[in-house]
């Protein structure tokens, strides 16, 4: 398992710093369709990476593989130095869970548990995974809900909350296990326009006040520019170009990047 | 102790009983197919008070045990002066009981014909009988065939109840062999297996048909 | 006559209730096994469902009551009846459970996986609570069918309602009135089941607080 050839040690010896997230030749195929094409990616600790690109570029698939919600066809992924996926991909659920514990995931469609209050939604993971006592877990849950501005909604059910509020509860829920890395999968795409702001603000605040590593797949370019210190443009399962927001948005090098940004940023022409 | 020789020995008699079972099922199914249509027509077509009465009667039949209904036809009718042979009582019982289920299947089938069809017909000012006969019913038939098939299979299994009103179908045959030889094991087991084989095969045929029907969707 | 009919009704209710408990438990177990990931778990459940759904309920009762003793397994009539009815119920219920489990949105399971919830918690605290309201309408029909099937145990010497009815008929010859009363009682019992189940449906839908349309 973890004892097999430590390529991370090799790369460390080769002089590269130890990234929080490391992907090497990550490939995902669905039958004949290649969604991720030998992708290489490094995300440093504390870095905020925004991933943009057209539909079908593999952005969501990448995120899902990082969270071990899907299995890669081939390739290698390490999180915080620990191997998540390796060749051949025959990882046991037990080992995946160990690494998955370092990550938090926020879904596009929230996926809150409808039969539980907001408090319960946030508290259930600490209770059942960290084996925390109910009092302690609920106290922590209240704190987290307060930190996303929903302290007074702890006893509400998801159906009683607006989309924006539900998504913020989902963020609090993902934070409940103190992850090192937070993954955001187009978290505002399913929201009514007037609710997008509150969720974006919450994420920006989270980024500002913590040293957490964040990877955000998003369509919102201004939001990406505000929250990220690096932006990656993906197309056809590969990273085409990567750079700081100023570099990528201001002076894109690759023609495909330019074409995409033109189409996205000038929709009325 | 299980003896294969005994099982082999009782098989011909059980197959003979199976023939009676199948006869009862087929006749009962034919009855139910017609009866279901009659019931549905009564519910939809008759004036309000009659329709409600029919509805109530069919609920009464649907929600009470088939066994009690069979007893009624076999033991009860004679006191009204109507004495029918056991087999007829059995077919009657199965037919009437399952008419209530078949009526539901028909109803679901008709409802599944898209509302647009009714609207188009009304817009074209077609007469009622044409709308029903040429447009709605032809479209309702194909999708309900699997459900009707399942009702036939269910009736096949329920036909075992006819043994209780002295019809010599498969279950009754098995019991009488058993009581005669004091060895129930092989007759009942073989009979149960025969029910399983026939209904499972029929079920697979229905599933095959369903898959064929929906193949073009994929 | 009233006395024996009352006794019979009580036995019918008893048999139906006991068989329902056995049947629901079997449905949950078999339905969950049929939805499992490993074929090793799925296969025995699939065999159970196909065998008991495919054969006649009466044949199953006769098998347990008449045939099994000949290989050394003897049950009292009541146990045989409850067992037979329960096994039959379970084979249909398993499919209902399986369908309901499948109807739970994929996102729920993914969220539970993303939170690293242990498999048992995932099933009992997240998936099952969402699946139960979906099962209730079918459960309603199945319980009424079970009530009807309870009449079958009169053929294996359990003195439930139908048995009492036939006894009275033999003794008094008052055929039509006896059967009329039988119909009324069964209809009443089935209406009670229907009412209780509809209440349960309403309450469980409230517990989900009007199903949220999350994908």
What is the pLDDT at residue C207?
Answer: 67
Mean pLDDT for A223-245 is 91
Residue from the list C59, C154, C165 with its beta carbon closest to the beta carbon of B160: C59
Reading the block at residue A175, the tokens are: 């934070």
Q: What three-state secondary structure class fits A161?
A: coil
Cβ distance C175 to B200 less than 8 Å, yes or no, reads: no
Residue with tokens 């020995």: B9
Q: Is residue A15 scored above 70 in pLDDT?
A: no
- Range with lowest mean pLDDT among A83-97, A173-187, B183-197, C119-133: A83-97
Report whether B65 contacts C144 (CB < 8 A): no
Name the pLDDT band for A14 (thresholds 50, 70, 90): very low
Q: Residues of B numbered 35-74 whose beta carbons fall under 8 angstroms of chain C's beta carbons: which are they? A: 59-60, 63-68, 71-72
C141 and B CB contact within 8 Å: no
* Cα(A253)–Cα(A246) distance, integer angstroms: 12
Cβ distance C60 to B199 less than 8 Å, yes or no, reads: no
What is the pLDDT at residue A1?
Answer: 38
What is the pLDDT at residue A251?
Answer: 86
The DSSP annotation for C22-66 comes to HHHHHHHHHHHHHT-SSHHHHHHHHHHHHHHHHS-HHHHHHIIII
Q: Is-cis flag, bond preceding A88, omega within 30?
A: yes
Alpha helices in C152-174 (DSSP H): 161-172
The DSSP annotation for A47-107 comes to -EEEEE--TTSSHHHHHHHHTTSS--SEEEEEETTEEEE-SS----HHHHHHHHTTEEEE-
Residues of chain C positioned with their CB less than 8 A from the CB of A114: 130, 208-209, 211-212, 214
Mean pLDDT for A57-61 is 90
Residues of chain C positioned with their CB less than 8 A from the CB of B73: none
Residue with tokens 């999968």: A185
DSSP state of C155: G
What is the pLDDT at residue B30?
Answer: 94
Low-confidence stretches of chain C (pLDDT beneath 70): 207-215
- Range with lowest mean pLDDT among B35-44, B192-201, C166-175: C166-175
Any bridge partners for residue A50, and if so which? A216, A231
Cβ distance B65 to C150 less than 8 Å, yes or no, reads: yes
Name the pLDDT band for A252 (thresholds 50, 70, 90): confident
Give residue C50's Cα distance to chain centre. 16
Phi then psi for residue B152, to 5 deg, are -65, -45
Q: Using alpha carbons, list the distances in angstroms from residue B123 to B44, B120, B127, C108.
A: 22, 5, 11, 46
Cβ distance B178 to C66 less than 8 Å, yes or no, reads: yes
Q: Is residue A4 scored above 50 in pLDDT?
A: no
First to last CA, chain B: 51
Mean pLDDT for A189-208 is 91
What is the pLDDT at residue A267?
Answer: 63
User: Domains in chain B, start-ordered, CATH in brackets?
Assistant: 4-217 (1.10.3720.10)
Cα–Cα nearest to A108, from A203, A188, A50:
A188
Residues of chain C positioned with their CB less than 8 A from the CB of A178: none
What is the pLDDT at residue C208?
Answer: 65
Residue with tokens 């006896």: C178
Mutate to test the interface with B, among C8, C63, C67, C186 (most CBs of B within 10 A): C67
How much is the ipTM here?
0.84
* Cα(C140)–Cα(B193) distance, integer angstroms: 29
B178 and C CB contact within 8 Å: yes
0.95 exceeded by pTM = no
Report whether B18 contacts B84 (CB < 8 A): no
Reading the block at residue B218, the tokens are: 């994929």
* Angle between helix B170-181 and B185-214 (nearest 10): 160
Name the pLDDT band for A11 (thresholds 50, 70, 90): very low
Mean pLDDT, chain A, rounded, equals 86
Neighbours of A262 (CB within 10 A): 12
User: C2-209, which class in CATH?
Assistant: mainly alpha
Q: What three-state secondary structure class fits A20?
A: coil
C50 and B CB contact within 8 Å: yes
Greater confidence, A264 or A77?
Answer: A77
């Amino acid at each position: 398992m973890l004892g097999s050839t430590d390529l991370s040690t090799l790369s460390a010896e080769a002089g590269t710093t130890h990234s929080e997230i490391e992907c090497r030749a990550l490939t995902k195929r669905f039958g004949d369709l290649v969604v991720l094409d030998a992708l290489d990616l490094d995300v440093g600790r504390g870095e905020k990476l925004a991933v943009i690109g057209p539909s079908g570029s593999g952005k969501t698939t990448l995120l899902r593989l990082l969270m071990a919600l899907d299995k890669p066809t081939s390739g290698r992924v390490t999180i915080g130095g620990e191997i998540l996926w390796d060749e051949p991909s025959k990882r046991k659920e037990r080992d995946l869970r160990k690494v998955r514990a370092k990550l938090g995931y926020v879904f596009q469609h929230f996926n809150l548990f409808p039969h539980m209050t907001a408090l319960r939604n946030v508290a259930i993971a600490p209770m059942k995974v960290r084996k925390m006592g109910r009092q302690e877990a609920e106290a922590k849950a209240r704190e987290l809900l307060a930190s996303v501005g929903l302290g007074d909604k702890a006893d509400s059910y998801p159906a009683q909350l607006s989309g924006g509020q539900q998504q913020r509860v989902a963020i609090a829920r993902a934070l409940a296990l103190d992850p090192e890395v937070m993954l955001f999968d187009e978290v505002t795409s399913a929201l009514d326009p007037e609710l997008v702001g509150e969720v974006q603000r919450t994420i920006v605040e989270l980024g500002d006040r913590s040293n957490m590593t964040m990877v955000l797949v998003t369509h919102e370019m201004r939001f990406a520019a505000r929250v990220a210190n690096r932006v990656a443009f993906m197309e056809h399962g590969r990273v085409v170009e990567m750079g700081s927001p100023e570099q990528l948005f201001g002076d894109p090098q690759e023609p495909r990047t330019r074409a995409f940004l033109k189409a996205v940023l000038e929709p009325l022409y | 102790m299980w003896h294969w020789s005994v099982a082999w020995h009782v098989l011909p008699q059980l197959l003979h009983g199976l023939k009676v079972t199948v006869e009862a099922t087929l006749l009962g199914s034919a009855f139910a197919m017609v009866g279901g249509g009659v019931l549905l027509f009564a519910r939809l077509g008759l004036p309000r008070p009659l329709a409600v009465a029919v509805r109530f009667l069919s609920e009464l039949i649907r929600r009470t045990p088939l066994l009690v209904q069979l007893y009624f036809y076999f033991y009860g009718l004679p006191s009204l002066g109507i004495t029918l042979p056991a087999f007829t009582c059995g077919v009657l019982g199965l037919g009437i009981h399952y008419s209530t289920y078949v009526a539901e299947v028909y109803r679901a089938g008709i409802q599944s014909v898209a509302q647009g069809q009714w609207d188009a017909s009304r817009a074209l000012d077609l007469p009622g009988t044409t709308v029903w006969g040429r447009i709605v019913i032809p479209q309702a038939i194909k999708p309900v065939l699997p459900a009707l098939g399942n009702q036939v299979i269910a009736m096949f299994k329920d036909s075992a109840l006819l043994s209780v009103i002295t019809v010599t179908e498969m279950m009754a045959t098995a019991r009488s062999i058993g009581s005669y030889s004091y060895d129930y094991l092989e007759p009942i087991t073989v009979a149960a297996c025969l029910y399983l084989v026939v209904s499972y095969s029929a079920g697979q045929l229905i599933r095959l048909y369903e898959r064929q029907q929906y193949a073009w969707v994929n | 006559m009233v006395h024996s009919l009352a006794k019979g009704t009580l036995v019918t209710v008893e048999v139906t209730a006991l068989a329902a408990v056995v049947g629901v438990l079997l449905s949950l177990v078999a339905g969950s096994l049929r939805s499992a990931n490993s074929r090793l778990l799925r296969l025995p459940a699939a065999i159970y469902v196909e065998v008991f759904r495919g054969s006649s309920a009466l044949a199953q009762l006769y098998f347990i009551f008449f045939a099994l003793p000949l290989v050394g397994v003897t049950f009292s009539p009541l146990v045989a009846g409850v067992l037979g009815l329960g096994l039959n119920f379970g084979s249909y219920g398993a499919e209902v459970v399986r369908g309901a489990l499948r109807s739970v949105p994929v996102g729920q399971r993914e969220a539970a996986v993303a939170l690293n919830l242990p498999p048992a918690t995932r099933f009992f605290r997240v998936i099952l609570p969402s699946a139960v309201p979906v099962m209730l309408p079918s459960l309603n029909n199945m319980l009424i069918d079970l009530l009807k099937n309870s009449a079958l145990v009169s053929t294996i010497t359990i003195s439930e309602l139908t048995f009492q009815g036939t006894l009275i008929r033999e003794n008094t010859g008052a055929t039509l009135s006896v059967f009329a009363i039988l119909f009324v009682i069964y209809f009443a019992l089935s209406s009670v089941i229907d009412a209780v189940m509809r209440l349960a449906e309403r309450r469980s839908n409230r517990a989900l607080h009007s199903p949220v349309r999350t994908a």
